[in-house]
């Protein structure tokens, strides 16, 4: 009890039992999802040795979100989110089982893997907003909402840190089947937890569950908000330039360091550790000063990280570059998410979830294609250099315009 009380003081959302249970199941599910995605990447790389094919694979994993999330957002409520989540989780289990059978029977050809990636992308586009809607309404105290959002990111990033490393180790020694099996088990754990949730969630005050709200209503509120006008596009730009490294990591590991299987997990793990550090910081009681003083500056650190990866030829500096890149991506995405959810009215929460997912996840398909094409046409390190230059130009224009309007240089988020 003393430990739980201490954790609840440091991370306010952990004071609630159902948040702890939900996040525990989420960790198992997301770990399995990351293992599945990296196993698919390694299989495609083994078959093709083509950066463009890796870009196409990750495009199929992320692209459906751009269609599914806007369609789903206006219809999403807590009651149907639970039902939809159960359906999606059951389908994801079936996909993992079919991949195991495909491997056993020798059917995992490139078209089959691409088809599995597309199905995975459709299910992911449905699953992420439904899980976020459930999480928002599990929190009984609205003051703990920012902590719950950041802790959900912590869980995601723990999975992103451990999942690729486990996938790489298992793939190198045991092949793809164990990765597919763990994906099925993690999904089953989450399915059981969602099944046990109450059919109707209510806050401690007895309010009805938050309704979805449409995408366009959320967009109007964000556009009227000075913070939202700057940081929603900024989040998309950081996600595009910094988030494209998922496609580039196996290429870098193979072409620069000699082994995709040996180094892919390490590089993903480094990015995950950095991202995890940012999420832990933002889930703690230090969230307010961290966002106020850091949110404007951190995107420039992403430029530094991309530049380091473009120039580095040593494992230690490459690991440091990925760790810094992971920190920046997580800090900007989580910080913008938490800040906008507190500034905008609950009535547009469903639309805001969709808008944030489109800004962060929605740019990923194009980012993966562009990154794969850049690495195909030139060196993988040159691809990191182009991404660094692109982000630097966007930051200079966006910040310069805002500072020109204010008549001074401002780094404090609250003074924009």
H-state helical runs in 225-259? 226-242, 245-255
Q: Which pairs from 378-381 meet CB under 8 Å and 24+ separation?
A: 379/255, 380/51, 380/248, 380/251, 380/252, 380/255, 380/256, 381/252, 381/256, 381/309, 381/310, 381/311, 381/312
Within 10 angstroms of residue 284's Cβ, the number of other Cβ atoms is 17
The pTM (predicted TM-score) of the whole model is 0.65
> Worst-scoring range by mean pLDDT, 83-87, 141-145, 246-250, 371-375?
141-145
Tens-digit pLDDT profile for residues 290-340? 777 777 888 888 899 999 999 887 888 899 999 998 888 888 887 887 777
What one-character DSSP code corresponds to residue 75?
A: T
Domains and CATH numbers, the chain: 13-415 (1.20.1250.20)
Question: Residues 328, 237: contact at Cβ < 8 Å?
Answer: no
Collapsing DSSP to helix, strand or coil, 412 comes out as: coil
Residue 235 pLDDT > 60: yes
Residue in 312, 411, 77 with CA at minimum distance from that of residue 213: 77
Within 10 angstroms of residue 94's Cβ, the number of other Cβ atoms is 14
Confidence of residue 207 (pLDDT cuts 50, 70, 90): very low
Residue 368 CA neighbour count, 13 Å, CB half: 21
391 versus 221: which is more confidently predicted?
Answer: 391
Residue in 188, 222, 227, 209 with CA at minimum distance from that of residue 89: 188
Residue 412 pLDDT > 70: no
The arithmetic mean of pLDDT across residues 218-239, rounded, is: 81
Residue in 132, 91, 107 with CA at minimum distance from that of residue 337: 132
Instruction: Determine the distance from the C-alpha atom of residue 164 to the mean position of all C-alpha atoms in its chain, rounded to a whole number.
Output: 14
- DSSP letters of 176-216? SHHHHHHHHHHHHHHHHHHHTS-SS---TT-PPPPP---HH
Using CA atoms, how far apart are residues 201 and 405, in angstroms rounded to an integer? 45
Question: Residues 171, 179: contact at Cβ < 8 Å?
Answer: yes
Tens-digit pLDDT profile for residues 40-51? 998 998 888 888
Residue 395 pLDDT > 60: yes
């Amino acid at each position: 009890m003393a430990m739980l009380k201490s954790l609840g003081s440091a991370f306010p959302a952990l004071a609630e039992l159902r948040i702890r249970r939900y996040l525990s199941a989420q960790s198992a599910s997301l770990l399995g999802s990351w293992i599945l995605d990296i196993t698919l990447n390694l299989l495609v790389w083994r078959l093709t040795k083509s950066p463009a094919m890796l870009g196409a694979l990750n495009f199929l994993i992320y692209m459906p979100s751009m269609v599914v999330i806007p369609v789903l957002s206006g219809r999403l409520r807590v009651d149907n989110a639970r039902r939809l989540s159960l359906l999606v989780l059951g389908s994801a289990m079936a996909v993992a089982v079919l991949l195991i059978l495909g491997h056993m029977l020798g059917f995992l050809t490139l078209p089959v893997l691409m088809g599995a990636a597309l199905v995975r992308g459709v299910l992911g586009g449905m699953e992420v907003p439904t899980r976020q809607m459930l999480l928002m309404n599990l929190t009984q105290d609205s003051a703990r909402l920012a902590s719950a959002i950041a802790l959900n990111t912590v869980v995601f990033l723990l999975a992103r840190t451990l999942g690729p490393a486990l996938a790489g180790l298992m793939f190198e020694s045991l092949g793809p089947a164990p990765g597919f099996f763990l994906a099925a088990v993690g999904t089953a754990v989450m399915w059981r937890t969602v099944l046990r949730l109450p059919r109707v969630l209510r806050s401690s005050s007895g309010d009805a569950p938050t309704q979805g709200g449409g995408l366009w209503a959320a967009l109007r509120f964000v556009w009227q908000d000075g913070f939202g006008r700057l940081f929603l596009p900024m989040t998309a730009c950081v996600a595009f330039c910094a988030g494209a490294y998922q496609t580039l990591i196996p290429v870098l590991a193979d072409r620069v360091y000699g082994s995709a299987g040996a180094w892919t997990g390490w590089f993903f793990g480094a990015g995950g550790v950095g991202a995890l550090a940012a999420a832990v910081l933002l889930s703690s009681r230090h969230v307010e000063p961290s966002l106020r003083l850091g949110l404007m500056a951190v995107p420039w650190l992403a430029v530094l990280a991309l530049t380091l990866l473009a120039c580095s030829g040593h494992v230690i500096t490459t690991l440091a570059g990925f760790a810094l890149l992971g920190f920046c991506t997580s800090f900007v995405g989580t910080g913008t998410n938490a800040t906008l959810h507190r500034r905008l009215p609950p009535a547009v929460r469903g639309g805001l979830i969709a808008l944030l997912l489109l800004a962060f996840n929605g740019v990923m398909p194009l980012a993966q294609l562009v990154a794969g094409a850049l690495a195909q046409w030139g060196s993988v390190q040159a691809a990191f250099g182009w991404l660094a230059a692109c982000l630097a130009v966007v930051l200079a224009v966006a910040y310069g315009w805002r500072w020109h309007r204010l008549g001074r240089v401002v780094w404090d988020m609250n003074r924009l």
